Amino acid sequence: MGCGRLKINRFHVLLFITWQLTLYFAVQQFFPIFANYTPKWRCSNDTEYAKDCTLLEECPKESLQFDYKPFYSTVMEFDMLCGTRAYIASLISTFQFGGVLMGTIVCGQLADKYGRRPIALITLTLGILFAMSSGASPNWQVLMALRILMGTCIGGALVSVYTYVVEIIPPQQRVFQRAFFNWGYSRAMLTVVCWMVPHWRWASYATVSVVIPIIPIVYFLLPESPTWLMSKDRFTEMKQSEEKISKLANSPTMFEDDSNQEIKASKSKRQYSIRDLFANRLIAKRTLILWLIWFTAALCSYINDLNSQNLAGDFFVNQLLMGGLTGMSLAVIFLLDTYIPGFNRRMLYQGAQSLVIGCFAIMTLLMIFVDAPTVILLIDLAGTVLIAYTWDACFLCAAEGFPTEVRATGIGSCVSVSRIGALLAPQVAFLGAVWPPIPFLSVFFLGAISLFFSVIYLPETKGTDLKNCSEILITKVNPSKVADTCGQQIIDC
């Protein structure tokens, strides 16, 4: 039995809950927005509050007054307000993203080799432990080490769980999943928890505690991906997995009894690796354009997020608006995808990216020529939502564009490249202290470059059957002779 056109059953609901919990764990990447919060200060009642490092050095401690502090951050506890120590705060964020990069590279290939489920279980369990332990850090060095380890687990969890989910849900549910179970809601929830627990140590414990139920869900309820088992020619286990899923779904006909499944499976027993993402010109071009749009989405997103504490208005209200508006607005994509059949992945990415460029061009000009902080805040909120739309296109194109044999590796490589962008984001956001328009100007230029190349090279993948998506990888011949089953368009090679 299914729920209307989407054919949602009980197991699909379980998958959506698992994905949302995974995102809430992964949203720890945004925790530095709160952990690095820096209040303004003044030396006496006669001066205005400002982030003046000279004043901080010269003012006697008994005369130093801090402005309203909505969150007690690591910056305040470990004295990282000014000078070289101020850079340490952004460095912790950078190394955390470095951990995510490492996790996606390693765990993507491990998930393709050993399965989606065991890698998801290991990374989620260890990640929760590292995140909680970071709240007890005695100094910033230990904090950095634990956040790096946690970041590694985030990368592995994102790759393995997302690959698992998209291999099981039918094509018509992919946009639904992205629209109603997304980063925006996770970020809004993180904001609410940090508002209720406004101390970085206690918030470290509280924010991660919410994720703990995912461990028994993965361990006791989720079997291995039947699609992955089929790609490994493990047909007996595949049938067992399908039977368990059908039982949980209360849908005996969820998996069609295809007697040709074993014939369709790859006859090759060799192990695939990241090198196979460049097996021929067709998949190589696809890999490179996906890397570019993921890099751009990550760098632009994290630059904007890490710079958000410098916007006008209440700190927590701004963060809640960014998360809540993003989460709710993604329903628009679902409506467009459902009721306008011609609305495809290319239109989603290129339309959103064009508007992102426009928003950040306007904000750059306003910051240079006009003092309009409220207008900048409103446009920034719109830009945040639009960047989230480009993220949706990135995830969908990657999930639908890579063959089964290297799907986790391919998605992992995209996430890894995006982490390189995330590594650079704290540094670019830090430059905003030198010249405030720099973060907005950076988003504008990067978005324009990505848009240009996506028009030329980004393939259309809407409606791809992931079980039959393998030919462009396995056939190492002239790609013009290969039937591109991972998408409806053949890239002009």
Q: What is the pLDDT of residues 298-316, one digit of tens each?
A: 989 988 887 787 788 888 9
Helix residue ranges, H only, 232-330: 235-249, 261-264, 281-306, 315-329
Domain ranges of the chain: 4-38+73-253+270-481
Q: Is residue 125 within 8 Å of residue 154, measured between CB atoms?
A: no
Query: Mean per-residue pLDDT for 18-27?
Result: 96
For the domain spanning 4-38+73-253+270-481, the CATH number is: 1.20.1250.20
Report the chain's mean pLDDT, rounded to a whole number.
Answer: 86
Task: Report phi then psi at 72, rounded to 5.
Answer: -85, 110
Q: Is residue 407 within 8 Å of residue 399, measured between CB atoms?
A: yes
Neighbours of 28 (CB within 10 A): 27
- What is the C-alpha to C-alpha distance for residues 459 and 126, in angstroms, rounded to an integer? 37
- What is the C-alpha to C-alpha distance for residues 56 and 288, in angstroms, rounded to an integer? 47
Q: What is the pLDDT of residues 59-68, one digit of tens each?
A: 888 888 888 7
Rounded to 5°, the CA angle 393-394-398 comes to 115
- What is the C-alpha to C-alpha distance for residues 55 and 51, in angstroms, rounded to an integer? 9
Q: What is the pLDDT of residues 96-124, one digit of tens each?
A: 988 988 998 899 889 989 999 999 999 99
Query: Mean per-residue pLDDT for 340-359?
Result: 94
Look at residue 28 and tell me whether its pLDDT is greater than 50.
yes
Q: Is residue 156 within 8 Å of residue 412, measured between CB atoms?
A: no
Look at residue 483 and tell me whether its pLDDT is greater than 70.
no
Q: Is residue 157 within 8 Å of residue 124, measured between CB atoms?
A: yes
Q: Quick one: angle between helices 281-306 and 438-457, nearest 10? A: 160
- What is the C-alpha to C-alpha distance for residues 221 and 169, in angstroms, rounded to an integer? 16
How many angstroms separate the first and last alpha carbons of the chain?
43
Query: Mean per-residue pLDDT for 438-442?
Result: 89
- What is the C-alpha to C-alpha distance for residues 416 and 49, in angstroms, rounded to an integer? 40
Neighbours of 324 (CB within 10 A): 17
Q: What is the pLDDT of residues 44-82, one digit of tens each?
A: 776 788 888 888 888 888 888 888 778 999 998 998 888
Task: Report phi then psi at 41, rounded to 5.
Answer: -145, 165
* Rounded alpha-carbon distances, angstroms, from residue 321 to 263, 329, 350, 377, 378: 51, 11, 24, 11, 10
Query: Mean per-residue pLDDT for 231-236?
Result: 89
State the burial class of residue 237 (Cβ atoms within 10 Å of its Cβ: 0-12, 13-18, 19+): middle
| Helices and strands, number each (H, E), in the chain | 22, 2
Question: What are the tokens at 23?
Answer: 């995102």
Lowest mean pLDDT among 168-177, 214-223, 247-256: 247-256
